[in-house]
């Protein structure tokens, strides 16, 4: 049986034990795979402007894959409908494809495996840990759902795509494809907000895009599972790196009646808890796996 630690690891050392015990690749594999995914998607946007090979044409709000398959941000489609404007059928089809894909694959997979802003907010969170910045203002995590509602209501009242005026995801995407632009100041504000004001402030408390993808992927197939609660030595590394640490509590420390599968819609399926856990408590699995983990410390 694992020995319970009386003193948790320091946040700046999150993942150090995993690296020492399991090796460098095991301690960073999902982080590296996510970066590869995010950068590869940016490269797909760039193949056209750079080499005249149009694989993914457009931007993060609306694009076309291989000049055939439309892909549309569900939020911009909902904004259009809220204004009373019926988008073209290709736009609706593109939104439908995205919704079905992310509804099936994993909770908020867009946020951790596709969204370019994740690289910015991850950097901010890493700097917070390394610099020992632990004080943080408090914001309710449900605020993002209020933001989502306000954007849709605001679009309906104003008759405009309200969110697209300040969408930092689209702004950062344009910066990668077309160079630095005037809206890049939004990205800088979010970085500083996460670093100095609220820990995981943007993704964990405010982002309406993440809120929508949380609702879309609430019943998705792939989930992070706690494979054996008894292995947990309460080092707190998983809590220190998780952008949504509240989703870990019941699966990891709940009663025998609580599922060891992280079913919370706010989990972003990033796999960092798997990476940093030296005791290999977590693993990716299905939401339908047998709940064999019933031990508690």
Residue-level pLDDT at 297: 38
Q: Is the pLDDT of residue 296 over 70?
A: no
Helix, strand or coil, per DSSP, at residue 63: strand
The reply to whether 291 falls in a domain is no
Confidence of residue 11 (pLDDT cuts 50, 70, 90): very high
The reply to whether 75 falls in a domain is yes
Q: How do the residues of the chain divide into helix, strand and coil, expressed in percent and rounded to 5?
A: 55, 10, 35
Residues 180 and 239 in one domain: no
Average pLDDT, the chain: 92
Cα 118 to Cα 157: distance, rounded to the nearest angstrom: 31
CB 209 within 8 Å of CB 139: no
Residues 172 and 71 in one domain: yes
Residues 141 and 244 in one domain: no
Residues 144 and 196 in one domain: yes
Residues 153 and 243 in one domain: no
Q: What is the pTM of this model?
A: 0.92
Residues 62 and 183 in one domain: yes
Residue 25's CB is within 10 A of a number of other CB atoms, namely 10
String of DSSP letters for 21-51: HH-HHHHHHHHHHHHHHHHHHHHHHHHHHHH
Domain boundary among 161, 181, 216: 216
Domains: count for the chain: 2
The reply to whether 3 falls in a domain is no
Residue-level pLDDT at 180: 59
Residues 85 and 201 in one domain: yes
Q: Is the pLDDT of residue 292 over 50?
A: no
Residue partners of 86: CB distance under 8 A and separation at least 6: 80
pLDDT digits (tens, 9 = 90+) for 88-143: 999 999 999 999 999 999 999 999 999 999 999 999 999 999 999 987 889 999 99
pLDDT digits (tens, 9 = 90+) for 43-99: 999 999 899 999 999 999 999 999 999 999 999 999 999 999 999 999 999 999 999
The reply to whether 296 falls in a domain is no
Q: Is the pLDDT of residue 3 over 70?
A: no
Residue-level pLDDT at 2: 46
Q: Between 231 and 296, name the one with better pLDDT.
A: 231
Domain boundary among 216, 244, 277: 216
Structure tokens at 251: 């699966």
pLDDT digits (tens, 9 = 90+) for 161-196: 999 888 999 888 877 766 656 577 889 999 999 999
CA dist 76 → 13, 165, 185, 274 (Å)? 40, 11, 21, 33
The reply to whether 80 falls in a domain is yes
Residues 208 and 61 in one domain: yes
Q: Is the pLDDT of residue 1 over 50?
A: no
Domain boundary among 169, 199, 216: 216
Residues 162 and 206 in one domain: yes
The reply to whether 249 falls in a domain is yes
Place of tokens 């706010």: 266
Residues 41 and 21 in one domain: no
Helix, strand or coil, per DSSP, at residue 65: strand
The reply to whether 5 falls in a domain is no
Residues 102 and 176 in one domain: yes
Residue-number span of the structural domain to which 183 is assigned: 34-216
Cα 118 to Cα 233: distance, rounded to the nearest angstrom: 29
Residues 121 and 60 in one domain: yes
The reply to whether 226 falls in a domain is yes
Burial class (CB in 10 A: 0-12, 13-18, 19+), 155: buried
Q: Is the pLDDT of residue 294 over 50?
A: no
Ordered alpha helix ranges (H), the chain? 16-22, 24-51, 74-82, 89-104, 109-113, 117-131, 143-158, 168-178, 184-192, 201, 208-216, 237-241, 249-253, 272-276
Q: How far is CA 236 from the centre of its chain?
A: 20
């Amino acid at each position: 049986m694992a020995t319970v630690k009386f003193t948790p690891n320091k946040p700046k050392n999150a993942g150090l034990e995993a690296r020492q015990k399991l090796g460098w690749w095991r301690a960073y594999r999902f982080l590296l795979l996510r970066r590869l995914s995010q950068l590869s998607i940016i490269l797909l946007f760039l193949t056209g402007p750079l080499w005249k090979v149009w694989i993914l044409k457009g931007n993060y709000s609306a694009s076309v894959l291989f000049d055939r398959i439309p892909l549309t941000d569900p939020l911009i489609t909902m904004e259009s409908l809220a204004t009373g404007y019926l988008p073209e059928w290709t736009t609706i089809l593109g939104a439908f494809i995205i919704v079905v894909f992310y509804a099936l694959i994993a909770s908020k997979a867009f946020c951790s495996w596709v969204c370019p802003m994740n690289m910015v907010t991850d950097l901010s969170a890493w700097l917070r840990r390394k610099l020992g910045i632990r004080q943080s203002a408090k914001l309710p995590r449900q605020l993002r759902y209020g933001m989502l509602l306000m954007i849709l209501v605001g679009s309906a009242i104003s008759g405009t795509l309200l969110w697209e005026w300040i969408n930092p995801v689209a702004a950062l995407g344009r910066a990668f494809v077309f160079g630095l632009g005037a809206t890049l100041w939004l990205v800088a504000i979010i970085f500083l907000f996460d670093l100095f004001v609220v820990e995981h402030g943007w993704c964990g408390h405010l982002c309406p895009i993440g809120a929508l993808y949380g609702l879309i992927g609430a019943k998705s197939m792939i989930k992070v599972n706690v494979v054996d609660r008894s292995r947990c030595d309460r080092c707190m590394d998983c809590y220190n790196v998780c952008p949504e640490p509240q989703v870990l509590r019941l699966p990891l420390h709940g009663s025998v009646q609580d599922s060891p599968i992280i079913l919370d819609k706010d989990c972003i399926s990033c796999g960092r808890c798997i990476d940093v856990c030296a005791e290999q408590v977590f693993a990716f699995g299905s939401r339908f796996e047998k709940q064999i983990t019933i031990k508690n410390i």
